[in-house]
Amino acid sequence: MALWDGLLFGMLLQLSVGPVCLAILQRSIRCGFSSAWKMIAGVALVDAFYMAGAIGGVSLLLQVAWVKQVVLIGGAVILAWFGVNSMRSKAMDETGEAEREGSEMREPSSFLYGLSLTLANPLTILFWSGVFGSMMATQHLPSLSGLLLFAGGCLLSTLLFLGFVALLGNAVRQYLVPKWLTRLNRLVGICFIAFALILLQKGLTV
């Protein structure tokens, strides 16, 4: 039951599209499904790490104002850096060679990209700390096994939803001309910078 609850809760969470989801779509369109799936694996690993930390009591540390401020402002800087890099990315030339070569060069780093991007988004750890902190405080899932099953359901929802996003990106990539790929890179970059500004604002008002 806890596993199913976690799956449903995670699916509802996934409907709130964030920078990671956009990055998965971008990577799948640019480099294909296999590269995007490696990125998803990195995202899921960080989510699991954050959930374990939340269950282990990291939420108490994040209640300290200056710690939360450092996490938010640091995440804002890193996300802005990702955004600038995305806006500077170029699509393939008319022959398609530049994009194919770029995809081959980027694919080995997809897992690390997923790791670093999720680590750079402090809202993830703040969110999971809040969820599991409230569950433990209210004893909604009083046993450790129940918490772990709930976390497992949330992770499964991440894999399923982002896997669907990757499949969608892979399906439409053949129909996008270079100028649309360039516009996609700029759009994702703008979204990253917008998220960064939101984080910065939150960090400065803690």
pLDDT tens for residues 133-161? 777 666 666 577 888 888 899 899 999 99
Res 142: pLDDT:
58
Q: DSSP secondary-structure letter at 18?
A: -
- Residue 105 has a pLDDT of 42
**What confidence score (pLDDT) does residue 138 get?**
67
For residue 166, the model assigns a pLDDT of 93
H-helix segments, the chain: 2-14, 19-31, 33-55, 58-61, 65-88, 97-106, 110-119, 122-138, 144-172, 178-204
- What's the CA gap between 108 and 176, in Å, rounded? 23
120 φ, ψ (degrees, to nearest 5): -75, -10
The pLDDT value recorded for residue 100 is 45
Which two three-digit tokens encode residue 166? Answer: 């990757």
pLDDT of residue 36: 92
pLDDT digits (tens, 9 = 90+) for 37-72: 999 999 999 888 888 887 777 666 666 777 777 777
Supply the pLDDT for residue 113. 86
Instruction: Please choose, from the candidates 66, 192, 48, the residue with its C-alpha nearest in 3D space to the C-alpha of residue 125.
Output: 48
* Helices 19-31, 33-55: crossing angle, 10 deg rounding: 160
Tokens of 153: 């359901």
pLDDT the model gives residue 168 = 92
What confidence tier does 164 reach under pLDDT thresholds 50, 70, 90?
Answer: very high
Q: How confident is the model at residue 16 (pLDDT cuts 50, 70, 90)?
A: low
pLDDT value at residue 178: 67
Per-residue pLDDT, averaged over 13-22, amounts to 73
In the predicted structure, residue 88 carries a pLDDT above the cut 70: yes
Query: What is the pLDDT at residue 141?
Result: 61
pLDDT at position 38: 92
